[in-house]
A and B are shown apart, each in its own frame.
Chain A
Amino acid sequence: MSTSPRAGGQPTGGHRTGTPHLRRYDVIVVGAGLSGTLVAKRLGDQGWRVLVLEAGTRTLDTWPGHLDAMNTYYAASAKVPNSPYRANTAAPSPDVLDLVGLPGGGFRANGYLVQNGALPYGSDYLRANGGTVMHWLGLTPRMHPEDFAVRRTFGYGRDWPIGYADLEGHYRAAERELGVAGDAQEQSEAIGLPFPEGYVYPMHRIPRSYIDDVVAAKLDGVPVRESPDAAETTLRVVTTPHARNSVPDARYDGGRGYRPVGAAGLPNYGERCVGNASCVPICPVQAKYNPLKTQATWDSRVTLVTKAVVSRVLADGNGRALGVEYQAYDDPAAPVHTTHTAEADIVVLAAHAIENARLLLVSRLAGHSGQVGRNLMDHPVLLTWGLMRHPVGPFRGPASTSGVESFRTGPARRRRAPFRIEIANWGWSWPASSPGSDVARLLGITGDSGQPRGRGVFGEELRRALGEGIGRQFSLQFELEQEAESRNRVTVDPRHRDRLGNPRPVITYDLSDRLKRGLAAAKAVSDRIFGLLEAEDHTAYGPGPFSPGYFRFEGQDLSFNGAGHGAGTHVMGDSRDSSVVDHWQRCWDHPNLYAVGCGSMPSIGTSNPSLTMAALALRSSEQIHRELTGLHRPVTVRTGGGTGAGDLSPHVPGPAPSPAPARGPSPHSHPHQEVRP
């Protein structure tokens, strides 16, 4: 097979698609989401033969496929993150609509995830080529240095075996790969993030929303206490780094600048965010980063096979991974599958935190520490909402352009979970499904069609009431750090299987008291902020179908949502007795088996995790490259460039004689730019 042109007009890049063409590969990557796509990119560029097995379909990576997803989204009654993407019974995905709150509190889970915890794991993911990042929001803050050592510093959770300094160069590499727009100086001043002197992000920051400006005018510099006996914290509105196309910064990369990467499948499109305000679940112009953009630059040595559900990792008696078993199917609606195996020197699991753990459990691998599947984390989100005194222009621009970062760090972490505050630009869409619910309410349409309906208002009165109400909608999203707890876990149970017979993930999930104290503190801070804004607070938490995350804590009603940030399930550590992977994300028990993704993270701080995950994936790619090089000695050594940040080992191309890439210059002609911004 060779390069196939896309229906949308642009070739897919140099990589192959279709079926595996070799008996044996250098590397198998399981999953073509963000982490798998980055690993394949790096290793393919270095000359290794990479087989990427992706469970989902690749309908999204052509422009007609993208338009189909847009129309599916427009027509969806509930515009949840997975709404644009067609259901796939061969590789099912969890959906936030799977969870239903019960009238007296508690919840029921109806979908792919089996849940038996005290509280719901409220996040989805997407099994389609490109992965969950297809519907991510695209916020890319770095973790704070103190987030890496929460046990040593604050006495909770788990520590990383490496720290911020070890990852700094890879953060920069990831910021290049994802195309991050931000203000490094502001991040440094306001949050205390260390950057190399002179660093700028590839693109200027995404402009702040009018809402941000309104909030900043009232909050900046104001000290608040989260409780009467707490220390003062000074509020400040800070713009958030985004993997979203903005104005390129000419100073980037030592003055070489940066060229924004447009849509996959449509040339010269999407090079600037135009404010469609639908980043979650789909960016119409693809100004938001998605992995298909990176796939379009994959080397010809990378082979992508979609509709290939990996069911098991195969290993020999000595713990060496031999390859994987996978199920190929044709029709996602009525799957009939055939089983195949593929072999490689190194296997990389990149199937999402929950799926990676599921695969390790099903394969009975990496079990020495007993930690596989444990330490499941997310960022529980507290939503608060109200009406401002004047119109603020909600439902414009990216979902959030700024936040308040003052509660992310510091000694208060000893007592309660820290949090980031995202200022929401999309009104009450998350907390109250606005604007649909506003229309229904004013028309007297109740959620339960059996209940008597209100008389409703019509005509100009309806129009005016909607405009006045919705135009003033405001909300805050508090994202709390969840700490690693071994009781929060993914397991498998042979009684619960999907259509292809693969055991479904069984989730046991709860929030610790320190996390609940964090949620209560977040609510108290919200109360102060609403007071400063003189906003009319409409926040209310109670049980009900739309509040599966409702609970009571110390006499207070609270409710949380999932952030989509599943992590911790193949936790990284410094000992094989207490962790699943080492700091290269390599399984302690299996030297040639890697599990990459947020699952490796021992703590997640308060930052949206994918930038850190991407940095880790790039770092692991270097180690995989070194190991492959070791396995395939002797080879010609080419000098003149590290393989990544801080790595001074000579660049060693892979041994495979490889055809010249079908398009453009070889990736080797511009290696390693990421380390010198």
Chain B
Amino acid sequence: MAPHHTAPLSQVPSDLADRTDPADPAALSAPRAPAGPSPAVERFVEVSVRLTGFDAFDLHATGLAALYRATALDQVGPEAFERFLAELAAVGGDPGRLEGETSRDIARALAHLWYLGVWPQLARSVHTALGREKANVPFTVSPEAYTEGLVWRTFHGHPAGAKAPGFGTWSEPPPGAPPVPRPAAPGRPVAGPGKEREEETAGDAV
């Protein structure tokens, strides 16, 4: 069942690409572009695939790629962002091989953003090196960013408080887990003193 509170999700524009001023909140709620994602967002998603280990389809499906790109641009500035992209390209797109601490911290921040919906605190040295004028504090980019966090999917879960899987689903073994014997079926009324108690019967607890 789709919980009602996720309704605003559908209103999040999936393409906020190539804005002139990513810090402008009005830009973040710009109307949906008619066509698919812009080349800049496509490129951002390609990089994000290498950062997160999720494929482009999954990342686009969150509806948040453009917002995340805009957030990163806003947080570190276009120059550092472009440098990050260039350095990443220079090491074959493998973020594990990034050597510059600034680019490496941007990689950490982006992966953190995708996994949790939270832009993290940057390393203090990087914050200083970038000459950032904003506070170096973590923040959740939007309510939907939390519910679209990738971390829940790494263990076949759902975000706490959203995308509820349904009554009793928590009783089932998760993927990769062995079945275990179920205890007795519940629901016998309380027996009076000295009364024979019914035998426990095996069955589903649901």
Contact status A464-B53, CB under 8 Å: yes
Chain B residues within 8 Å of A237, by CB:
183
Looking at the assembled complex, report how far the CB atom of B105 sits from the nearest CB atom of chain A, in whole angstroms.
Answer: 7
Q: Do most interface residues of chain B lie in helix, strand or loop, or is the interface mixed?
A: loop
Residue A395 interfacial (CB < 8 Å): yes
Query: Is the pair A393, B161 in contact by a Cβ cutoff of 8 Å?
Result: no
Stretch of A274-282, A500-508, A574-582 with 4 or more beta carbons under 8 angstroms from chain B: A274-282
Question: Within B184-206, which residues are at the interface with A (CB < 8 Å)?
Answer: 186-193, 195, 197, 205-206
**Segment at the B interface, from A17-25, A179-187, A535-543, A600-608:** A179-187
Closest Cβ neighbor of A402 among chain B residues: B183
The stretch of B22-30, B79-87, B138-146 in contact with A is: B138-146
Within 8 A of A (CB), among B132-187: 136, 138-140, 142-144, 146-147, 150-152, 154-158, 160-162, 164-178, 180-183, 186-187
Which of A63, A246, A275 lies in contact with B170, CB distance below 8 A? A275
In the assembled complex, the CB of A12 is this many whole angstroms from the nearest CB of chain B, namely 19
With A and B bound together, what is the CA distance between A74 and B158 in angstroms? 13
Which residues in window 454-474 of A have CB below 8 A to B? 455-464, 466-467, 470-471
The closest CB in chain A to the CB of B173 belongs to A210
Q: Which residues of B contact A195 (CB under 8 A)?
A: 190
CB contact between A275 and one of B120, B166, B180 (< 8 Å): that residue = B166
CB <8 Å contact, B167 and A275: yes
| A449-B96 contact, Cβ under 8 Å, with A184-B189, A391-B176 | no
Residue of chain A at shortest CB distance from B163: A276
- The answer for the CA separation of A246 and B192 in the assembled complex, in Å, is 25
- Tell whether, in the assembled complex, residue B154 and residue A466 are in contact, meaning their CB atoms are under 8 Å apart: yes
Given the known interface contacts A79-B160, A394-B157, A463-B154, the answer about A217 and B180 at a Cβ–Cβ threshold of 8 Å is yes
Q: Which residue of B lies closest to A184 (CB)?
A: B190
Shortest Cβ distance from B193 into chain A, in angstroms?
A: 8
Cβ contact of A467, chosen from B105, B155, B181, cutoff 8 A = B155
A467 & B118 in contact (Cβ 8 Å cutoff): no
Q: Does B60 make an interface contact (CB < 8 A)?
A: no
Chain B residues near A207 (CB-CB < 8 A):
167-168, 170-171, 205-206
Residue A435 at the B interface, CB < 8 A? Answer: yes
Are the C-beta atoms of B161 and A70 separated by less than 8 Å?
Answer: yes
In whole angstroms, how far apart are the Cα atoms of A415 and B166 in the complex? 44
Q: Which residues of B contact A374 (CB under 8 A)?
A: none
- A74 touching B143 by the CB < 8 A rule? yes
Interface residue range, chain A: 35 or more
Contact of B205 among A208, A251, A443 (CB under 8 A): A208
- Closest A residue by C-beta to B195: A197
- Residues of A near B173 (CB, < 8 A) are 210, 391, 393
Nearest-CB residue, chain A, relative to B139: A77
B103 at the interface (CB under 8 A from A): no
Q: Does B121 contact A (CB under 8 A)?
A: yes
Which residues, 511 to 562 on A, are CB-close (under 8 Å) to B? none
A272 part of interface (Cβ distance < 8 Å): yes
What's the Cα separation between A455 and B49 when bound, in Å? Answer: 18
Tell me the minimal C-beta distance from B202 to chain A in angstroms.
12
Count of residues in B whose CB is under 8 Å from the partner chain: 80
B95 touching A458, Cβ below 8 Å: yes
CB–CB B115/A445 < 8 A = no
List, in ascending order, chain A residues with CB within 8 A of B127's CB: 449
Residue B52 lies at the interface, judged by CB distance under 8 Å to chain A:
yes
B29 to chain A, nearest CB (A): 15
> Chain A nearest CB: distance from B82 CB in Å?
20
A209 CB–B CB distance under 8 Å: yes
User: For residues 47 through 65 of chain B, which have their beta carbon under 8 Å from a beta carbon of chain A?
Assistant: 49-54
Partner of A435, one of B151, B156, B164: B151
Chain B residue with minimal CB distance to A199?
Answer: B190
Instruction: Report yes or no: B152 in contact with A210, Cβ–Cβ below 8 A.
Output: no
A73 at the A/B interface (Cβ < 8 Å)? yes
Contact A75 B143 (CB under 8 A): yes
Distance A195 CA – B107 CA, assembled complex (angstroms) = 60
Given contacts A276-B3, A458-B96, A464-B53, contact A471 B124 (CB under 8 A): no
Asked whether A439 is an interface residue with its Cβ less than 8 Å from the other chain, the reply is yes
A209 touches B123 (CB 8 A): no
What are 8 pairs between A and B in contact, CB < 8 Å? A71-B8, A71-B143, A266-B4, A393-B157, A455-B104, A457-B96, A461-B53, A466-B151
- If A213-B182, A435-B152, A439-B151 are given as contacts, then 9 extra A-B residue pairs at C-beta distance below 8 Å, sorted by A number, are A67-B5, A204-B187, A205-B186, A210-B177, A251-B189, A275-B166, A449-B124, A460-B53, A470-B155
In the A-B complex, list the 6 residue pairs whose CB atoms are closest, starting with the nearest: A397-B170, A278-B161, A393-B174, A463-B53, A74-B143, A471-B155
Q: Which residues of A contact B (CB under 8 A)?
A: 63, 67, 70-71, 73-77, 79, 183-186, 188-189, 195-200, 204-205, 207-210, 213-214, 216-217, 220, 237, 239, 246, 249, 251, 266, 269, 272-278, 282, 284-285, 390-398, 401, 425-426, 429, 435-436, 438-440, 443-445, 449-450, 452-453, 455-464, 466-467, 470-471
